[in-house]
């Protein structure tokens, strides 16, 4: 993780503390639930490899995917600060997680203000992404919604080392559940984008053929690309 250009370097004392803060690694199978809404969990996690998604369920089983978690993302912070999880997390692929004891989070804030700032930065970044998602669900057209989501995920996946050939291991149901549109409408919208040679949907997921065209269609610009923190 530390070798990737997207992440900032640790100071020696910070690295030593994080090494003590860490309690182990957790392997999660594809399709497994990492965290459950309403649960009390004594741990929080940093994604080391693989990816998953955060979601909420209505009583009748309808699902809203609120965001995707990738290497470098912190999972479970909400439960650490609010007592219980307000969403669930499911693995989209096999995942490896770094496990931290949330009871020791206060010592991080007390002894390492730089790391505490990093956690604030991570939470703020999540808020910014949710702002974009809300704008997308509320105001973008169906074509713009799908274009935005795919180019947004691809940009994040490339930064975190998940996608090097433009392919996203995603189903159309995930796209529908993220954007709040029906699976039929999602399928028709993807077909329109495919007819423009912007993407190709394969058995293993979606292959992006023209990232720039999708970004232009969605009216979306990627971030600055500066280094970001992680634990």
pLDDT tens-place string over residues 10-25: 888 888 888 888 888 9
Q: How confident is the model at residue 81 (pLDDT cuts 50, 70, 90)?
A: low
Query: pLDDT above 90 covers what percent of the chain?
Result: 55
The torsion angles phi and psi of 96, rounded to 5 degrees, stand at: -120, 130
Once rounded to an integer, what is the mean pLDDT over residues 167-189? 95
Full-model pTM: 0.90
Q: What pLDDT score was predicted for residue 110?
A: 86
Tell me what pLDDT residue 179 has: 97
Q: Give pLDDT tens digits for 115-152.
A: 888 888 888 888 899 999 999 999 999 999 999 999 99
Structure-block tokens of residue 127: 């808020």
Residue 162, pLDDT > 90, answer no
Note the pLDDT of residue 86. Answer: 83
Handedness of CA 154, 61, 122, 96 (dihedral sign): negative
What are the Cα distances from residue 95, in Å, to 27, 48, 151, 155? 6, 7, 22, 19
pLDDT band at 82 (very low <50, low <70, confident <90, very high): low
pLDDT at 54 over 90: yes
Whether the CB-CB separation of 228 and 8 falls below 8 Å is answered with: yes
Distance in angstroms (rounded) separating the CA atoms of residues 26 and 170: 23
Does the pLDDT at position 204 exceed 90?
no
Q: Which among 136, 116, 145 is positioned nearest to 214, based on CA atoms?
A: 145
Mean pLDDT lowest among 7-21, 39-53, 178-192, 211-225:
7-21
pLDDT at 96 over 60: yes
Is 189's pLDDT higher than 60? yes
Q: What is the mean pLDDT of the chain?
A: 89
d(CA 64, CA 92): 15
Whether residue 111 has pLDDT greater than 60: yes
């Amino acid at each position: 993780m530390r070798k990737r250009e997207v992440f900032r370097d640790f100071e020696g004392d910070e690295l030593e503390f994080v090494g003590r803060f860490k309690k182990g690694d957790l392997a999660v199978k594809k399709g497994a639930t990492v965290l459950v809404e309403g649960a009390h969990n004594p741990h929080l996690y940093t994604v080391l490899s693989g990816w998953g998604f955060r979601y909420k369920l209505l009583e009748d089983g309808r699902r809203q995917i609120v965001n995707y978690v990738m290497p470098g993302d912190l999972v479970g912070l909400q439960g650490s600060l609010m007592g219980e999880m307000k969403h669930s997390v499911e693995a989209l692929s096999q995942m490896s997680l770094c496990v931290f004891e949330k009871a020791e989070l206060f010592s991080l804030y007390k002894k390492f203000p730089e790391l505490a700032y990093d956690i604030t930065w991570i939470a703020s970044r999540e808020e910014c992404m949710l702002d974009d998602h809300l704008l997308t669900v509320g105001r973008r057209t169906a074509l713009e919604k799908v274009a935005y989501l795919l180019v947004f995920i691809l940009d994040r996946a490339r930064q975190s080392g998940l996608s090097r050939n433009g392919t996203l291991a995603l189903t159309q149901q995930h796209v529908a559940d993220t954007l709040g549109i029906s699976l039929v409408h999602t399928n028709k919208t993807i077909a329109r984008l495919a007819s423009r040679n912007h993407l190709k949907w394969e058995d293993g997921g979606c292959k992006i053929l023209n990232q720039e065209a999708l970004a232009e269609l969605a009216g979306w610009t990627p971030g600055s690309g500066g280094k970001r923190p992680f634990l």
